[in-house]
Amino acid sequence: MGETTAWDARLELTGDGKGLVANAGVVLLCKTADAVGLTERIGEVFGPGRVERICRGAVLVGAASAIAAGARNLSQVERMLAHHTGTFGACGSDSTLWRTLDSVDERVLKRLSRARARSRRTLWRMLAARPGGFPWLQVGGKRLDGWVVVDLDATIVGCHSRKQNATGTYKGGFGHHHLGGWIANTGEALSILPRPGNAGSNTATDHVTVLGEVLAQIPDEGRHSKLPVRIDGAGASHDTIGHLERLSTTRRRVAWTIGWTVTKLEETAIKALPEHVWAPYLDQDGTIAPPIHYGEAHDETGSEYGHVAELTGLAKRPGWPAAMRLIVRRVPIAPRDRAAGKVTALEKATGWKYAITATNIARMQGIPGSGHPQWLDVLHRHHAVVEDHVRASKTTGLGLLPSASWRINTAWVLLTGIARDLDIWTRLLAFNDHPLLAKAEPATMRELVYHLPARLAHHARRKWLRFNRNHPHTHAIATAWHRLQALPAVT
C-alpha cells in the first residue's frame, strides 16, 4: 500500500514549452492546394482588397484544410488554424471566415467553381504524369481505360435546430436533402447542390443542374471525354434521360446506367423469359458469384448466386429512347426483405428478387465484352461505391451545416467539397504508393497524419517542422512533403 509507479515519481508538468504545433499534418493539405494553384486562384476570385487584409484564398484554403482534418464548424476551424500561424501564416478568425462565406453570392460561386476546375485540370495532368498514371477503374474484371465514371446520388443532412430551408424529409426526419456528383475513379466531389429537406429524389431539373456542374469540372483534353453516368432509380425520368441523351457530342461520349422500377409490365416480361437466357451473376472481379442459401435449400440456384438477362423488347414503353436497353437481375430473396414485406407476388412465387437497370450502352469503346448484360449489370452495381464517397463527404463537413443562414450554409457546402478534394489530392499526389494511406478513410488520415503534433524550429534562416522520429508514419509524411515540393510550378 502507498507504493507509486516509477513514472508517477519522475513525471513533472510545466507550461513553458515553445514551438509546439498541434495538428501539424494539416500543412500537407495547404501545400497540396498551393501545388495545384488553388490558393492563388481562389485569391484571384476575391481580389487583393486592402493591403492589411488577409488573402481570402488563404482563408478558404486554410478553412478547407481544417475541415478535412476534422473541424465541424467555424469555431473549430479557428482553433485548429491558430496553431499554424508560424507554419503557413494567419488565416483569420472565425469572424473573418464568416464574412468571407457571407460574401459568396451566385456570381462568386460560379467563379470559385471555375477556379476549382482549373486546379483540377492541373491535378489531373500531374496524375497522368506520375508512375501508374491516372487511376482508371477496374469493374467486373475489366479495366476502364479512358473512361471517367460519374456517380450521382442524394443524401439527407439532418439538423436539430431551425435553419433556412430545413424541412421534413421523405424519411420522416428534419433537415436538408442535397444532391451531388462524384468521380468514381478518385472519389472527388465535383458538385454538391444544397436543397431543402422536402426536395424530391427524382427532380429532373436538379439532376440536370448537377450534371452540368459535373461536366464543367471534368478537364476535357481529349483524354477525359468518355463518361459513363450512373444514377439510381431517382434518375429514371423522361427529362433526365432525355438530357443525358443530348449530352453526347462529336467530342464527348456520355453513356448511362439508371435504376428502373419493376412494374406489372416488367413482371409480365420477366415471366415470358425462357430459363436458358439467364446468364450467371458476376462478382466485381468478373468471376461467377458463388451461391448464398440464407440457411434454406434453394436447389434452383445451382452453382450460381443469381442470374442476369436482357429484357429489351419485351417491356416496351412509348416515349423512351429507342436504343435504351433493360437488363434484369434476379437473386435469392434475403430474409430481411421477407421480414420487411418487400416481396411481390411474382417474387414469392419464383423465390427470386428482381431488379432492372436501364442503359444506352451497346458497347464501350476499347472494352471487350462491355455490351454483355452480365457485365452491364456489374457496372451498374458498382455504383454502390458512391455511398462510400457520400459517407466520406459527410464526415468531412457536409454532415453538419454550421449556420442558420442558407447563404452561409451554401458556401459551407462548397467549402466541404474543396476539403474533400484536398484530402483526396494529397493522397493521390503524395501517398499514392503507401500501402495504407493511399486509400485511407478520412478518420485514418486524421489519426495517422493530420492530427500529429510537431515542433517548429528555426535554423539557418529557415523554418523546420519536426515530427516525432519514432512515429511509424513520419518517414511517409516527410516523403509526401518532398514530393509536393518537387511538383512543377503551376503556369
Coil, helix or strand at residue 463: strand
Indicate the pTM of the whole model: 0.92
Residue 15 banded pLDDT, cuts 50, 70, 90: confident
Residue of 465 and 220 predicted with greater confidence: 465
Residue of 15 and 443 predicted with greater confidence: 443
State which amino acid sits at residue 204: A
C-alpha distances in Å from residue 30, one per residue of 44, 190, 253, 394: 17, 19, 35, 21
- Rounded to an integer, the average pLDDT of 435-455 is 95
- Rounded to an integer, the average pLDDT of 422-442 is 95
Output the nine-digit C-alpha cell for 333. Answer: 430473396
Distance CA 368, CA 144 (A): 10
Cα-only R_g, the chain: 26
Mean pLDDT across the chain? 90
- Rounded to an integer, the average pLDDT of 129-142 is 92
Cβ neighbour number for residue 290 with a 10 Å cutoff: 10
Residue 295 banded pLDDT, cuts 50, 70, 90: low
State which amino acid sits at residue 478: A
Cβ neighbour number for residue 294 with a 10 Å cutoff: 11
For 69-173, where are the E strands, in sequence order?
138-139, 142-143, 150-158, 167-168
- Nearest of 413, 432, 392, 454 to residue 127 by alpha carbon: 432
Q: Which helix (H) or strand (E) holds 322?
A: none
Domain boundaries, the chain: 16-118+402-486, 134-392
Percentage, residues of the chain above pLDDT 70:
94
**Choice among 130-144, 177-191, 210-224, 275-289 with the minimum mean pLDDT:** 210-224
Q: Does residue 112 have a pLDDT over 90?
A: yes
Distance of CA 399 to the CA centre of its chain: 13
Query: Which residue is it, cell 481505360?
Result: 145
Residue 2 banded pLDDT, cuts 50, 70, 90: low
Contact indicator for 450, 73 with CB cutoff of 8 Å: no
Secondary structure (DSSP) of 285-342:
TSSBPPP--TTS--GGGTTSS-EEEE-TTTS--TTS-TT-EEEEEEEEPPHHHHHHT-
Distance CA 183, CA 150 (A): 5
Output the nine-digit C-alpha cell for 80. Answer: 485548429
- For residue range 52-104, list pLDDT tens digits in order: 467 888 899 999 999 999 999 999 999 998 888 877 777 778 888 999 999 99
